[in-house]
Amino acid sequence: MPDYEEFEIATRAVRVGQHRTAEGEHSETIFPTSSYVFASAAQAAARFSGDQPGNIYSRFTNPTVRTFEERLASLEGAERCVATASGMSAILATCAGLLKAGDHIVSSRSIFGTTTVLFSTYLPRFGIETTFVPVANTEAWEAAIRPNTRLLFLETPSNPLTEIADIQQLSALARSKDCVLVVDNCFCTPVLQQPLALGADIVIHSATKYLDGQGRCIGGAVAGDNERVGKEVYGFLRTAGPTMSPFNAWVFLKGLETLPIRMQAHCSSALQLAQWLEKQPLVTRVYHPGLASHPQHDLASRQQTGFGGIVSFELQGGQQQAWKFIDSLRIFSITANLGDAKSTVTHPATTTHGRLSPEQRADTGITDGLVRLAVGLEGVSDLQTDLARGLAALAA
Ligand SMILES: *Cc1c(COP(=O)(O)O)cnc(C)c1O
């Protein structure tokens, strides 16, 4: 097998990590087995003691899962990647592997809602506190860091308003304060943004989204160095057990093969729709990093190789008009998932961000008229016609 590391990302997305069996199969194999047979009692002992590498038990060693891990590690430019049962268990395993009671996290405020709940409700029970700051305000990050801060956590672009964190600046800050910088790279994927190359220490994925790409399986991953990810995070995972199943790993492997071309298509359609929405009289504001009107368009252009598939916009008339618009669409699915071939639409104020108080929503800019699109892979003119249908229903 050639050393694929010197190849383009599209080649690595298709090729890295496959270890063919003696059957000569062309597509990757699924290994649905809980445990592995040892040639002798002595070999079993050597595997268990760690003296001899090899498979033991699928909670922590499975060849299909390992193929997915090797391929994603290559795409992110990481020494090591470990797969998890979900994006949330990737975040939990990172915190549990790296932190202890008394430690403190600084996190951007506009993160996935369930991550907010993990940080503000569950981690405090184990003595880990979190301070939330606006993602794009580096001074606020610095001011929030305490002597016991160990981990900085962010998502960029943020959901749903597509604010951009300056990863290079924040990684310099993390280094100067002896903190680990963790970036949830779910929205961009390694195709559009490589946080480790910009100085981050760890990348988190919800494989459920773009890595799968067709809305089928729940999964996650943590990528980074051999010490933190390979020892600390993996150590927690193999003990606590939120492991990726081999079947899901196989689905994600098939997803990775088409990730580069899918991301290009998501980006191109999203930008086209964002530019069109900006010209519509009933739309008061459009949020997409690819628009010249985006306040951080220059930073996004430097940090990302594409602007992603998320477009949010504000309609005149608040919740009533937003709901009417959403209910008038025929192609966009009303569902909270994203990263799917199928385009989706959500009303953040009453769904993903419904648990926030009206004041918190106002703080984070989630107004009642805000609509979020995750642009899929359907024909872009059909999608535009669908959005026009929604706007026409409001004008009627
Ligand atoms: C969906 C999502 C998660 C959680 O992933 P699951 O696979 O649903 O557990 C974490 N971060 C972001 C940005 C997400 O969109």
> What confidence tens digit (pLDDT) does each residue in 165-207 have?
999 999 999 999 999 999 999 999 999 999 999 999 999 999 9
Question: What is the length of the chain?
Answer: 396
Q: Of 307, 327, 316, whose CA–CA distance to 375 is shortest?
A: 307
Rounded to the nearest angstrom, the distance between the alpha carbon of 132 and the centre of ligand 1 is: 18
Q: Candidates 1.20.1250.20, 1.10.10.10, 3.90.1150.10, 2.10.70.10; correct CATH number of 260-395? A: 3.90.1150.10
Q: Is 220 in the pocket of ligand 1 (CB under 6 A)?
A: yes
Q: Is 86 in the pocket of ligand 1 (CB under 6 A)?
A: yes
Looking at residue 289, its pLDDT comes to: 98
Contact 220, 84 (CB under 8 A): yes
Q: Is 87 in the pocket of ligand 1 (CB under 6 A)?
A: yes
Count other Cβ atoms within 10 Å, centred on residue 345: 23
Same fold, 4-30+62-257 and 260-395: no
Q: What is the pLDDT of residues 6-49, one digit of tens each?
A: 899 999 999 999 999 999 999 999 999 999 999 999 999 999 99
Percentage of residues in the chain having pLDDT higher than 70: 100
Pocket test for ligand 1, best of 91, 112, 217 (most atoms within 8 A of CB): 112
Ligand 1: nearest atom to the Cα of 220: 7
* Rg, Å, the chain Cα set: 22
User: Topology of 4-30+62-257 in CATH?
Assistant: Aspartate Aminotransferase; domain 2 (3.40.640)
Dump the DSSP string for 35-79.
B---SSHHHHHHHHHTSS-S--BTTT--HHHHHHHHHHHHHHT-S
Q: Can you give the residue ranges of every domain in the chain? A: 4-30+62-257, 260-395
Contact 153, 107 (CB under 8 A): yes
Whole-prediction pTM: 0.96
Give the angle 290-291-293 at the CA atoms, nearest 5°.
140
Q: What are the strands of the beta sheet with 180-184, ordered from one edge?
A: 80-84, 220-224, 202-206, 180-184, 149-155, 104-108, 129-133
Element (H, E) at 276: helix 246-278
Average pLDDT, the chain: 96
Looking at residue 1, its pLDDT comes to: 62
Q: Is residue 352 pLDDT above 90, yes or no?
A: no
Q: What is the pLDDT of residues 113-141, one digit of tens each?
A: 889 999 999 999 999 999 999 999 999 99
366 token code pair? 């989630």
Q: Of 67, 106, 79, whose CA–CA distance to 201 is shortest?
A: 79
How many whole angstroms separate alpha carbon 25 and alpha carbon 22? 8
Q: Is 209 in the pocket of ligand 1 (CB under 6 A)?
A: yes
